[in-house]
Amino acid sequence: MREIEIRGDMIRLGQLLKLAGVASGGGDVKAILADGVTVNDEHEDRRGRQLRHGDVVRISGDAIRVTAQS
C-alpha cells in the first residue's frame, strides 16, 4: 500500500489521484472513476469526495492511504 502525504485536514479524490500520479488531468479522473474506485471499501464515483487522514483509496488493485504530512 502506498502512502500519500497531504497538507491540511483533507484532499478531494480527484486531487489525490493526480497527486499520486494515477491521473494526469480531469478527463483521466472521470475515466478512472468510471472504471471503479473504492474509498474505505465503498464504491465512489464523485471526484469531489473529501478524503481525510487514514482513508484508503483502491484503484484496480492499487491501494493508496492518505496520511498527514510530517
* Residue-level pLDDT at 48: 96
Kindly state the average pLDDT of the residues 50-61: 95
Cell numbers found for residue 68 = 498527514
pTM of the entire structure?
Answer: 0.91
Domain ranges for the chain, please list them.
2-68
* Residue-level pLDDT at 27: 87
| Domain range 2-68, CATH class | alpha beta
Task: Please report which confidence band the pLDDT of residue 65 belongs to, taking 50, 70 and 90 as the band edges.
Answer: very high
* Residue-level pLDDT at 6: 95
Q: What residue ranges in 1-70 does DSSP mark as E strands?
A: 2-6, 10-12, 37-39, 42-43, 50-52, 56-59, 62-68
Q: Which residue has the higher pLDDT, 70 or 19?
A: 19
Which pairs count as long-range contacts for 33-42, CB under 8 Å and 24+ apart, including other chains? 35/59, 35/60, 36/60, 37/13, 39/13
